[in-house]
Structure 1
Amino acid sequence: MSSEEASGPAGTAEIDARIMELIRMRRDAALREGSLRTDAGLPAVDPSAEKAALERYSRMASDNGTDPDTAESVCRALVKESAELLSRMPRRGSSLRICIVGGGGRMGAWFAHLLGASGHRLDIVDPGSDNGLGIRDAALADVVIISTPIHAVEGVLSELDGICGPDTLIMDVSSLKSPFCDTIREMASRREVCSLHPMFGPSAASMYGRNLIICDCGCPRASEAALELFGGYGAHIRRMPVEDHDAYMSYVLGLSHAVNIAFFTVLERSGISFEDMMSVASTTFNKNLEANRSVALEDPMLYYEIQRLNSNSQGMWGMFSGAVEDLRRASLSEDPSEFADLMSRGRRYFSPGNSDDGR
């Protein structure tokens, strides 16, 4: 018998059971509050709820002697669970007919689940869906979402331009925009078109707390309509001109993918097995490894397109190669000053308020 089992009815095991019941009660209360908000025409997720809860937990931790970091971790976990459930609640209001081109893929299916749960009527156009729908059925839609491989987006946009009515909202969810930027900007000069980029993958439980980019392609009405459609799901929404998007992505996606692929490529070529390497792994190594293993399991063709089709990739690769050479030279130098300077510059970059241009 464990010490917990022997500790009697007031022991930790029973307290744990009470905690789990309280978690359920809190979740139910949050859903009731969310339902009241949607009945009032408000988003189910209250943007101020997390801040208020954190302040509440901080006060309670101070009052009863709980470690503040523990209190914050518990609070964030509870708020996240409730918010993700709330963000998937059906939303009151007009139901739209939404066509998802590529809706049989993982990201297309993710959007189909989100929007279907919100009460919208969905038409899935995908060769793998076997539902008899083709792209010409997009003519009936209020909104069309393109969720295809990057190289196919431009062709789909052109097809939809000849199929959909002038008031149909057309948007893509592609990871890059430069391969079709000229086409989408020209379309936006005469019809409702914008471009989205969810900065998360199909494994995400919801949009809550995650980044969503809305790119303005030249039709502000379309961007506003996209904001209205997705604004109540708890995402952090960033708006930007479509022509700015891929410069950011050359670092956020291209560089981060490249660093991870380079890391596991060096490990694979080291001659040391993964199991052997793990037996001596450090904290920093393990933190890197979590992202590395995730990247290694992703779709190689998607990651190739993110590198190959971004018109800003050459500039990023020049900086990346230069940074690796600077680091190599500084690491092998007898003088530590250059190495220390690289470290100091990185520390300053990550310090709050250091940016001159908002990036």
Structure 2
Amino acid sequence: MTNSDPDFDKKLTSLRDEIDEIDSDLVKLLQRRLSVTSKVGQLKSSVGKPIYDGKREASLFAKRRLQASDAGLSPDLIEDVLRRLMRDSYVSQDASGYRCVNPECKKVVVVGGKGQLGAVFVDLFKRSDYQVDIIEQNDWPHSEAILADASVVIVAVPIRLTSMVIHHLNNLPKECILADLTSIKESPLFEMKKAHAGPVVGLHPMFGPDVTGLIKQTIISCEGRFPEQYQWLLEQFTVWGAKIYPVEAHEHDEAMSMVQVMRHFSTIAYGYHLMSEGADIEKLVAMSSPIYRLELVMVGRLFAQDPTLYADIIFANKENVSMMKRFAYRFLELLEDVSLDDKDAFVDVFNLVSDWFGDYAGDFLEESKSMLLKANELKKH
């Protein structure tokens, strides 16, 4: 189709110039907004208020969505933009530092503080003006001196080393808080209470080392001993923006067998199956829908990491084997329905699971829509 408007190029250039000017103004506005949010962070830091304010965030979204609707714009678009802006705002506010909840804390020692997750906590404690020391493998000959005046000792080593490390922490100051960051809780708590007569708490950060901050992140807390003596530590985590979720150690481990172990095991099995079938991953990526691409991303992401990390999680608890066997049995149950061409039985199971999810099914459907849109936008292949 030929262009019938001789001034088309001129008009298009003029409109694009106008868009460029608007975009330039947007950059200036964003710079101004970032400057103000940085001041907010400094102000909050000066009085010890947490950076994240859920009520303020919800109110802001509601107001801007209404404003967008009145202006004929998509409320979802405006909320997406705001969420992205606020994520950067939290990072800028995070740079202002944090209130030190317990100025009387003499020293925090992180065993494994140079590891990926340990380093996250070392950085946060330092930005809250705590004195922080690190113990790595080569530091054990000097560990007695390092630990002598510790107020908090956090064990941040791989699961397979946790018990051994805790065993060496049997001469801590009486009032020292002993905590661990492993993804299982019953065994480490037992070992910590055996090694140390003072306050003990089991912690499980539900995030990885690539976080830019703890805002909206969850830290699971399992009571060990003398919880009143470590409450200030949990409060410090909330000042950093984390949500504390208290739970009994055995409940934690049961939940993790589903949240982590089953997820990791089934992902590894799926990746193994794709490889064994000789699947052409380039073609799978090219032909994938957004949701399957996201599935491939999560599978591939796992195989880009340290296999011993996942082996430690899966092999940590012998009861995980029973859970995985039950999963395999249910897999075979559904496979039998397919083999027998029994669609009614298959649909019945589907509906039972749907009823079990209840309102969460619809909530997750809506939540996944924005995730899939973002996943599609980030495609590189």
Structure 1 length-normalised TM: 0.89
Q: Is 1:103 matched up with 2:79? A: no
Q: What SS class does the counterpart of residue 221 from structure 2 fall into?
A: strand
1:80–1:131 Cα change, 3 Å: farther
Query: 1:253 pairs with 246, 260, 263, which one?
Result: 260
Q: Which residue of 1 aligns with 2:143?
A: 134
Asked whether the equivalents of residues 196 and 212 of structure 1 are also in contact (C-alpha less than 8 Å), the reply is: yes
Q: Which residue of 2 aligns with 1:357?
A: none
Q: Which residue of 1 aligns with 2:157?
A: 148
Deviation, 1:285, is 1.7
Distance 1:159 1:131 in 2: 9
Distance 1:345 1:136 in 2: 59
Q: Whose radius of gyration is greater, 1 or 2?
A: 2
Q: Which residue of 1 aligns with 2:375?
A: none
Asked whether the equivalents of residues 97 and 128 of structure 2 are also in contact (C-alpha less than 8 Å), the reply is: yes
Query: 1:62 pairs with 69, 72, 90, which one?
Result: 69
Query: 2:185 pairs with 174, 177, 182, which one?
Result: 177
Q: Which residue of 2 aligns with 1:27?
A: 34
Q: Which residue of 2 aligns with 1:166?
A: 174
Structure 2 length-normalised TM: 0.84
Q: What SS class does the counterpart of residue 153 from structure 2 fall into?
A: strand
Deviation, 1:249, is 0.8
Deviation, 1:124, is 1.2
Distance 1:332 1:192 in 2: 56
One-letter amino acid matched to 1:171: A
Distance 1:11 1:320 in 2: 58
Q: What SS class does the counterpart of residue 161 from structure 1 fall into?
A: coil
Query: 2:237 pairs with 230, 237, 254, which one?
Result: 230
Deviation, 1:260, is 1.0
Asked whether the equivalents of residues 246 and 311 of structure 1 are also in contact (C-alpha less than 8 Å), the reply is: no
Judge which range, 272-281 or 248-257, deviates more: 272-281
Task: Give the aligned length.
Answer: 351
Distance 2:353 2:236 in 1: 38
Q: Which residue of 1 aligns with 2:125?
A: 115
Matches within 5 A, 1:84-95: 84-93=91-100, 94-95=102-103
Judge which range, 280-289 or 248-257, deviates more: 280-289
Asked whether the equivalents of residues 99 and 145 of structure 1 are also in contact (C-alpha less than 8 Å), the reply is: yes
Distance 1:80 1:40 in 2: 22
Distance 1:168 1:39 in 2: 28
Deviation, 1:46, is 2.4
Asked whether the equivalents of residues 34 and 45 of structure 1 are also in contact (C-alpha less than 8 Å), the reply is: no
Deviation, 1:51, is 0.9
1:135–1:19 Cα change, 3 Å: farther
Q: Which residue of 1 aligns with 2:207?
A: 200
Deviation, 1:25, is 1.9
Distance 1:260 1:16 in 2: 42
Asked whether the equivalents of residues 194 and 222 of structure 1 are also in contact (C-alpha less than 8 Å), the reply is: no
Q: Which residue of 2 aligns with 1:295?
A: 302
Deviation, 1:78, is 1.6
Asked whether the equivalents of residues 211 and 237 of structure 1 are also in contact (C-alpha less than 8 Å), the reply is: yes
1:39–1:6 Cα change, 3 Å: same
Q: What SS class does the counterpart of residue 99 from structure 1 fall into?
A: strand
Deviation string for 1:53-100 (max 9, x for gaps)?
Answer: 211221111121111211121121122222233345312345442111
Asked whether the equivalents of residues 178 and 192 of structure 2 are also in contact (C-alpha less than 8 Å), the reply is: no
Deviation string for 1:100-145 (max 9, x for gaps)?
Answer: 11111111112112221222221111137x8995364122222111
Q: What SS class does the counterpart of residue 225 from structure 2 fall into?
A: coil
Deviation, 1:173, is 0.7
Deviation string for 1:130-179 (max 9, x for gaps)?
Answer: 899536412222211111111222222232231x1111111111111233
Asked whether the equivalents of residues 257 and 323 of structure 2 are also in contact (C-alpha less than 8 Å), the reply is: yes
Q: What SS class does the counterpart of residue 168 from structure 2 fall into?
A: helix
Distance 1:149 1:58 in 2: 45
Q: What SS class does the counterpart of residue 124 from structure 1 fall into?
A: strand
Asked whether the equivalents of residues 65 and 76 of structure 2 are also in contact (C-alpha less than 8 Å), the reply is: no
Q: Which residue of 2 aligns with 1:343?
A: 350
1:57–1:187 Cα change, 3 Å: farther
Q: What SS class does the counterpart of residue 215 from structure 1 fall into?
A: strand
Q: Is 1:82 matched up with 2:101? A: no
Structure 2 unmatched runs, 5+ = 1-7, 362-381
Across the aligned residues of Structure 1 and Structure 2, the Cα RMSD in angstroms comes to 2.6
Q: Which residue of 2 aligns with 1:264?
A: 271
Q: What SS class does the counterpart of residue 48 from structure 1 fall into?
A: helix
Asked whether the equivalents of residues 65 and 79 of structure 2 are also in contact (C-alpha less than 8 Å), the reply is: yes
